[in-house]
Structure 1
Amino acid sequence: MNARRWLTGMLCCGTIVACGPVDLQGLDFREPSDARKYVAACARGAQALHCKAILPVLQTVEGPVTVLIPNNADSQIVLDLWEDLRVQGLTTETFLGSPAAERFARANIFAASKLSTGIMRTVDGKTHTIKCVGSTSDASEECVIDDQLAGRSRMDGVANAVGSVYTMAPALGKKRAYLPFE
Structure 2
Amino acid sequence: MTAIGDNSSKAETDHRLLVAYYHRKDLANHFEAKRIADERKANRKNANSHGISSQKLDHYLKSVVADDKQKVVDKHLSDRQNLEWMGLIAKTSGGDLLDQAERVTGETLVRAKGFQAGLLGNDRVSGYMAGSDEDHWWLTSYDEGRKEYDTKLPDLLARINEQADIEAPPEDEDDDEG
With structure 1 as the length reference, what TM-score do the two structures score? 0.25
Q: Which has the higher strand share?
A: 1
* Structure with the higher helix share, 1 or 2: 2
For normalisation by structure 2, the TM-score amounts to: 0.26
